Amino acid sequence: MSLATDLPHSEGRASGEAAKTPGTGAEKPAPRRRSRQRRERLFQWLFLVPAVVYMTLFFGYPVVKNVVMSFQEYTTSTFFTGEAPWVGFTNYVTVLQSSLFSTSLINTALFTIGSILGQFVIGLALAIFFQRKFPLNGILRSLLLLPWLLPLIVSSAVWRWILDKDSGALNRFLGDLGIIDTGIPWLTSTSLALIAVVGVNIWIGIPFNLTILYGGLQEIPDELYEAGSLDGATGWKAFRNITWPMLRPVVSVVLVLGVVYTLKVLDIILGLTNGGPANSTQTIATQSYNLSFHEFKFGEGAALGNVLVIISLVFAVLYLRASRRAVDE
């Protein structure tokens, strides 16, 4: 205690103002407490600074820049001259009126809904399956994580070989089973390419769903099932009345996160089909990438990117509400 009282004292002497007003013992504690509080507050802010600086530099700046860019005629010249004339909403009008926009929008919706449905249903089924105790359970579960660990560009390259019409492994397999006579053009038919791409994306997304849902299932206390079985709730009934209601908060988090991740998928589509054939796998994300980095229309690319950001934002708000509810519950 003596040290604590000593230090502020010497401090008071050092700072000119405190030396001029030699206060009585009764006055002293109040400003001291206040200054300590202020110092603590300052510390709190200082600890926030790295995070705030990081967020501003790496999240805030690109987002703001992207919004600004979408209102400019931003071309290759801009990089050298720094000149980017303002064009108002021209980029948005061009992008939204393009005949490709509706195609990309529909593809984005189909791709997202299809991927999420597949990933979630299969992920949930596997999560429930792995709840049972059986030998090699742990090893199998970790093996299922592999798709998640592979770089996306590797996955897409491998799947491109597997799905090849003439010499792909999948068609060979189906042919050997006698199911098909001629190769199915998985990636080169306008009606199949999107399905194939969704299929590959489901394969990639299963581990994420499996892991989170498995974690959620572990949280459900065994007693509930024991009590349920006494009342005759087993199998499907147990799932409907115990598992599903208890899992709901986790489910909403998985679904919303899944949607936001899937909306922006780029590498898989570029690696498998490049948006083709005939734009049948072109999504808003791939189209935005094409505009910016292949056609050098950076303003239009940014505008389309922002459209995607707004769509994601809707789901991000849903996510925030869902996670708040999950905490409440």
Partner 1 sequence: MKSAQRTYRPLALAVAALVGLPLALSGCGSTTAASSSETATELSVMDYYNNEPDKSFIGDALSKCGTQLGVTVKRETVPGKSLISKVLQQSSSKTLPDVLMLDNPDLQQIAATGALAPLADFKVSTENFAEGVLSAGTYKDKVYGLAPTVNTIALFYNKDILAAAGVTPPTTWEELKAASAKLTAGDQYGLAFNANPTYEGTWQFLPVMWSNGGDEKKIDTKETEQALQLWTDLVKSGSVSSSALNWTQADVKDQFLAGKAAMMVNGPWQIPALDKQPTLQYGVVKIPVREAGQTSVAPLGGEVWTVPQTGNKARQAKAAEMVACLNSDENQLAMATARNTIPSKTTLSDKFASDNPKLATFTELIKTARARTGQLGEEWPAQATKIYTAIQTSLTGNASPADALKQAQGQ
Q: Which amino acid is at 219?
A: E
Q: Which of 9-17, 124-132, 210-218, 252-260 is the region at the interface with partner 1 (rule: CB under 8 A)?
A: 9-17
Instruction: Give Cα 314 distance to the centre of its chain.
Output: 13
Cβ closer to partner 1: 77 or 137?
77
* Interface with partner 1: number of residues (CB under 8 A): 46
Alpha-carbon distance of 167 to 183, in angstroms, equals 8
Rounded to whole angstroms, the Cα distance separating 271 from 21 reads 75
Collapsed DSSP state (helix, strand, coil) of residue 280: coil
Binding mask 302-321 for partner 1 (x = CB under 8 A): --------------------
Strands (E), the chain: none
Q: How far apart are the first and last CA of the chain?
A: 45
Candidate segments 79-87, 202-210, 254-262, 317-325, binder of partner 1 by CB under 8 A: 79-87
What whole-number distance in Å separates Cα of residue 309 and Cα of residue 113?
17
Instruction: Please choose, out of 87-95, 164-172, 228-236, 318-326, the segment that lies near partner 1 by the rule CB under 8 A.
Output: 164-172
User: Which residues inside 12-41 make contact with partner 1, applying CB under 8 A?
Assistant: 14-15, 39
What angle, 0 to 180 degrees and rounded to 10, lies between the N-to-C axes of helices 298-328 and 244-263? 170
Binding residue for partner 1 (CB under 8 A) from 189, 211, 252, 312?
A: 189
Residue 86 β-bridge partners: 72
When asked if residue 149 is in the footprint of partner 1 (CB under 8 A), the reply is no
Q: How far is the CB of 278 from partner 1 (least distance, A)?
A: 4
Please, which residue, 58 or 236, has the CB nearer to partner 1? 58
Out of 280, 283, 288, 306, point to the residue binding partner 1 (CB under 8 A): 280
